Amino acid sequence: MDGKAYIASLDDGRRVYADGQRVGDIASHPHFAGTVARIAATYDHFDRNAEAKARFFTPPSDAEGMRAHAAIHTDGATHTTHNALMTLLTAADRIAEARPQGRDAILAYVQYVRDNDLRVVECITDAKGDRSKPPALQEDKDAYLRVVERRPDGVVIRGAKLHISLTSVSHEMMVIPTKGMKPGEEDYAIACAVPVNAPGVSVVDVINGAPPEGADPRDFPFAFEKAVPQGFVIFDDVFVPNERIFLDGEVKQAATFAHSLGLWVRASSMISLCDGFDLMIGLAQLIAEANGLEKIEHIKLKIAEMIITATLVRATLEASMVHAKKLDNGALAPDEVYTNAGKYHAAANYGIMVRNLMDIAGGSVITAPSMRDLENAEIGHLVRKYMGTKQSVDGTYRTRLFHAIHDITASAQGGAKQAGLLLSGGGLYAQNVVTRGRYDMARAKAMALEAIGLAEAP
């Protein structure tokens, strides 16, 4: 598809709601127009450049290929599709013995998505109901998405999936269990693919980190580019044919999909974080220079602390690629210890990056006049005068820096960015658990015993 065909593909009868109203034309609705335009631009780029498309959607087979793939910048839906397909390919290897027909269904589905140039979202988090109870003991059995009917030609599912980015502007949903299941929870051990416009599917959207209505893009440069719809997806007795079912009742494999997705979401987050941290360092240095404070010792130390954090996060990304594991299908999966440790370190220290950036910039991060004020015929020249510093730094330039820093730290977009970083991929606890579980503890214990002369101890 090119961009025009992609936009036309969204007019397929899907049920999408925003602000209490059903949305008619997705592409022209103010909540979705910017996101649709960015996705369409990627389609147009790939339509003109088949080599770039092939490079993005071909799983890397070596560390250099992973580095090259990490450097490709596209829209969020395209990246999410890559994560979803790699999740399925990773899970296919892991469920092959227990459910070979599921592996075959995954391979056929991945090819279908590629052949038809579709975009796929990741539906994992359930409504969950009473968090102290497992799925089978919930008062409302639909608190976790489940199979309510099995037919010779497929299953019927019911439930909801929350926090699903970009559903309304994509074509397909990869629906997977939110966690491991136990015997007696077979109905909840369901993984499958569902079209967004399937009968019984409804999406209720909010726009995460959106700029204020009527805002000037120069005042919110990141919000206009980064805000995306977040879907509350309802499955009201949705039929799924057998060829789209990847797992059905195999409780021992239920967590496989979540673990596979967590790996790829965290790896993708790491790539975004590395670039994002470097961007924050660049803004910190620019505003320090604009303020005439770049040589002040405490400013230099704050920027140095930011650099150290960014460098350590990038080092874990590099290590995750160098130590990547080859799957049976030939693709590489980033090393889980380095990926999870890096994501944890980045999320845990993001607040320090924000604190230092705001401290270096100063109070104008939250009080700088709008760019329209600077252009006002009556007062604009005075606003520009007092927003300037030295002769080489005019008020317009410095104000643009303040707005960028505000948008990345203190605006709705900044808050959504920080919350998303903390909560995506399962939150800090999930990265803690996986890092500990994948760490070579036996080697560490052996080293400790040898160091104190107890290498032969039982």
CA dihedral 44, 49, 52, 53 (to 10 degrees): 60
- C-alpha–C-alpha distance, residues 150 and 268, integer Å: 36
pLDDT of residue 402: 96
Q: Say which residues have a Cβ less than 8 Å from residue 101's Cβ, sequence separation at least 6.
A: none
The pLDDT-based confidence of 95 (bands split at 50, 70, 90) is very high
**Does residue 268 register a pLDDT over 80?**
no
Phi, psi angle pair for 160, to nearest 5°: -145, 150
CA distance 245 to 197: 17
The candidate with the shortest Cα–Cα distance to 260, out of 407, 148, 25, 93, is 93
Mean per-residue pLDDT of the chain: 91
Which H helix or E strand runs over 391? Answer: none
Q: Are strands 190-195 and 245-248 parallel, antiparallel or unpaired?
A: antiparallel
Q: How confident is the model at residue 400 (pLDDT cuts 50, 70, 90)?
A: very high
Q: Is the dihedral of CA 240, 84, 144, 162 positive or negative?
A: negative
**How is residue 2 written in tokens?**
């090119």
Give mean pLDDT, residues 152-161. Answer: 97
Tell me if residue 206 falls in helix, strand or coil: strand
Q: DSSP letter at 149?
A: E
The better pLDDT of the pair 173, 321 is held by 173
Determine the pLDDT at residue 409. Answer: 95
Strands 154-165 and 146-151: antiparallel
Taking every pair of Cα atoms in the chain, the longest distance, rounded to a whole number of angstroms, is 85
At 323 the three-state DSSP class reads: coil
Q: Which residues of 405-434 are buried (b: 16+ CB within 10 A; e: fewer)?
A: bbbbbebbbbebbbebbeebbbeeebbeeb
Band of the pLDDT at 392, cuts 50, 70, 90? Answer: confident
- Asked whether residue 457 carries a pLDDT value surpassing 70, the answer given is no
- At residue 458, the pLDDT reads 61
Listed in sequence order, the residues at least 6 apart from 45 whose beta carbon sits closer than 8 Å to its beta carbon are: 52
pLDDT digits (tens, 9 = 90+) for 204-241: 998 878 888 888 889 988 888 887 899 999 999 999 99
DSSP H helical segments within 323-426, as ranges?
A: 336-361, 364-367, 371-374, 380-387, 395-409, 412-423
* 329-378 pLDDT, tens digit each: 677 778 889 988 998 999 899 999 999 999 999 999 999 999 999 999 99
Q: Would strands 120-123 and 172-175 be described as parallel, antiparallel, or unpaired?
A: parallel
| pLDDT recorded at residue 455 | 78
CA atoms within 13 A on the CB side of 169: 30
Domains of the chain from N-terminus onward: 3-248 (2.40.110.10), 256-446 (1.20.140.10)
Task: Single out the residue of 203, 205, 208 nearest to residue 228, CA to CA.
Answer: 208
> Rounded CA gap, 274 and 270, in Å?
6
Distance CA 73, CA 301 (A): 31
The DSSP bridge partners found for residue 165 are 230
The distance from CA 227 to its chain's CA centroid, rounded to whole angstroms, is: 12
Inter-residue contact 196 to 398 (CB < 8 Å)? no
Report whether 364 contacts 375 (CB < 8 A): no
Residue 326: pLDDT band (50, 70, 90) is confident
Give the contacts of 418 (CB within 8 A, at least 6 positions apart): 350, 351, 354
At residue 60, the pLDDT reads: 75
- Nearest Cα to Cα of residue 405 among 370, 357, 368: 357
pLDDT at 187: 96
Query: Which residues is 241 bridged to in the sheet?
Result: 154
Q: How is 267-291 classified by DSSP, letter by letter?
A: HHHHHHHHHHHHHHHHHHHHHHHHH
